[in-house]
Amino acid sequence: MPIRLIVGLGNPGQEYEQTRHNAGFWLVDELARSTPRCHLSRESKYHALAAKTTIAGQEVWLLEPQTFMNRSGQSVGALARFYKILPDEILVAHDELDIPPGIAKLKKGGSSGGHNGLKDITAALGTQDYWRLRIGIGHPRTLNLQQAVVDFVLHRPRKEEQPLIDEAIAKSLSIIPLLCEGNFNAAAMKLHTVEK
């Protein structure tokens, strides 16, 4: 099953634009920018910014829910139901506390790990069996920061972290065509291989 819907998670509004929690938005923004004739525009029936485009010869929807993180499922569920997109044809890009900046990982299913956006999408789809592109932002404890998680995700990455996150997003973008062809093994291998 090729990917037919790529969702980036984040919070709408200028005050959140540069925060770690918006890493999923950053990926979809970059994907839209690098795809010819692809412009995200407001789609009120999906409570989102959305665009239909072609990647690797496949028709794919890009989606950025504008409902705030903990209501992301409202948007994802509405578009998936309307276009009859199955959970295993959906890729959700999101910030991941358990992975250090500079690394991104692909996985299918599993728990939400406390991520409210994933929790709401799982509830809306009625299953955990959709693909996730986990963009590492690190954890305040592993980064030696005395900061609560909720505060940490709603702040900008530090100067030294931003280029690493950007690098992980760039590497993630390079596997999107493989995902849209349904070639998940090759995509995972390419993403998870550390270049020497």
Please identify which residue in the block is written with the tokens 């037919």.
4
List the catalytic residue out of 21, 47, 94, 115: 21
Active site residue 115: no
Residue 184 marked in a binding site: no
Give the Cα separation of 77 and 122 in Å (integer). 9
Handedness of CA 144, 145, 149, 155 (dihedral sign): negative
Residue 70 marked in a binding site: yes
Residue 116 marked in a binding site: yes
Residue 68 marked in a binding site: yes
Class of residue 34 by CB neighbours under 10 A (exposed 0-12, middle 13-18, buried 19+): exposed
Assign residue 109 a region: left if phi > 0, alpha if psi is -120 to 50, beta otherwise?
Answer: left
Residue numbers belonging to the annotated binding site: 16, 68, 70, 116
Binding-site residues for tRNA, in ranges, read 16, 68, 70, 116
List the catalytic residues.
21
